[in-house]
A and B are shown apart, each in its own frame.
Chain A
Amino acid sequence: MPSPNKKILIVDDDPDICEYLAAFLTDNGYEATTAKDGVEALEKVEAEKPDLVALDITMPEKSGVRFYRDMKEDPKRKAVPIIIVSGVSEDFEKFISTRRQVPPPEGYIHKPVDLDRLLALVKQHIG
């Protein structure tokens, strides 16, 4: 079991996927909180100080991409690992490769989610 109080923020516009990943991570000893878009995610980062973020990048109006940039361009927040969970990765990879000053994410996971791989990635970054 990981050390107590490690908190993970799950950002996805599909409430089913939020609930699914939150249940899975809670079952594995983490604390989980969710947000339905980039704006809510920023508020949760401020209020709950998560140790890691699982982010769907293909949310409407690019709010996932904007959230990612806000996190990684902020010196105080860029240390928080972000794992991208997405149905399409090309959009995001294009975004990252056109902006050299934005560092790449700590991990990619494709939908449908391989739970073992997700857990391994989470453990690797926050124990």
Chain B
Amino acid sequence: MELPIRESQERYRLLFQEAPCYISIQDRDLRIVEANRRFREDFGDQVGRKCFEVYKHRDKACAPCPVQQTFHDGQTHHSEEVVLSRDGEPINVLVYAAALRDAEGRIQSVMEMSANITEIRQLQSQLESIGLLVGAISHSIKGLLTGLDGGRYLLSTGLKKKDESRVERGWSMVQRNVDQIRGLVLNILFYARDHEPEWKIVCAPRLLREVTGLFEGKAQENHIELIKDIESDAGEFEGDPQAMRSLLVNLLENSWDACSADEAKPQHQVRARVRGFPEHVEFEIEDDGPGMDQETREKAFTLFFTSKGAKGTGLGLFISNKIAQAHGGSIRLESEVDKGARFLVTIPRKRP
């Protein structure tokens, strides 16, 4: 008799360890009592620590928490979450919580099973962003086509009327709109995944001056003081100027929106700073807006995550992060609720 029992125990043990999802057993305090191999691989050996500390790097339980719900009513509960691996990589998971009962039917612990759906979500995000892009692109193409039609009209009627000035204006209209279409196509390629940066020598202080220049005009009407802290000998780096411009514009826009939406203060400050180091340059965009809680901070660079409601697309910080990575650099975010936010962009002087 003993042998078959041990055999079947061993089989269940194997099933638990090798199941292709993260499984943990938790007690009423959300403490992890046991975890399977996949869980330990991606989150470390965390037995004894609390679920939300391990998965979310936070100090309070999530609200709502599917495990607590299951302890409460004995039913299975599920939710979708973004958790952080021990390497700090965000992972999208579908979480299921199911009660484990003792012989008397009392709930002893809860099993939490999380399926990694990061790839599905990434694919979905790509499809969604293609949809958004197509809408924006088709609008500008309609305008550019109208411009091309205009050029064609002036050219053909100018030739008929032998009106040289009209022919010239028509031709330059055609050229202008063709150039704009070229720019549009470059932008699309730039958003597409496999676009190689167009490497040039970029002057860091000049770049930041250019970008802050775009915001100076609207500083007063938004009650924001734009402070430029530009080290004029911060020097040059190898980079894609167009991409780096978008990165900095995205970060500034982010701070700007946060400050404009913050009604706690009548006046805000946004500081844009650049400094040179031997091996890298460092851009810093800092605001004294409402700041972010831990969850917002951790999801900030995730595609389509936005805290701006209908006004945000969740594209800006995602693309900025991609751009920094393509330059061999990184973006660090420091923020606390009521204490503003600080983005620190490090870009190596030499391309990777």
Q: Which residues of A contact B (CB under 8 A)?
A: 14, 16-17, 19-21, 23-24, 27, 58, 87-88, 110-113, 115
Contact = CB atoms under 8 A, between A and B. Distances in A.
A87 B142 CA distance: 6
Interface residues of B, number: 18
Contacts of A23: 150, 153-154, 157, 166
A17 B150 contact: yes
Interface in B120-149: 139-140, 142-143, 145-147, 149
A7 B313 CA distance: 43
Interface of B (DSSP majority class): helix
B176 interface: yes
A6 to B, nearest CB: 20
Nearest to B174: A16
Nearest to A56: B143
Interface of B: 139-140, 142-143, 145-147, 149-151, 153-154, 157, 166, 169, 173, 176-177
B177 A16 contact: yes
Contact of B139 (A14, A16, A20, A87): A87
B40 to A, nearest CB: 52
Given A23-B154, A112-B145, A112-B146, 7 more contacts: A14-B143, A14-B146, A14-B147, A20-B154, A23-B166, A87-B146, A113-B146
Nearest to B177: A16
A37 B153 CA distance: 24
Contacts of A110: 142
Nearest to B150: A20
Given A87-B139, A111-B142, A111-B143, A20 B157 contact: no
Nearest to B143: A87
**By CB atoms of chain A within 10 A, which of B142, B145, B150, B173 has the most?**
B150
B143 A20 contact: no
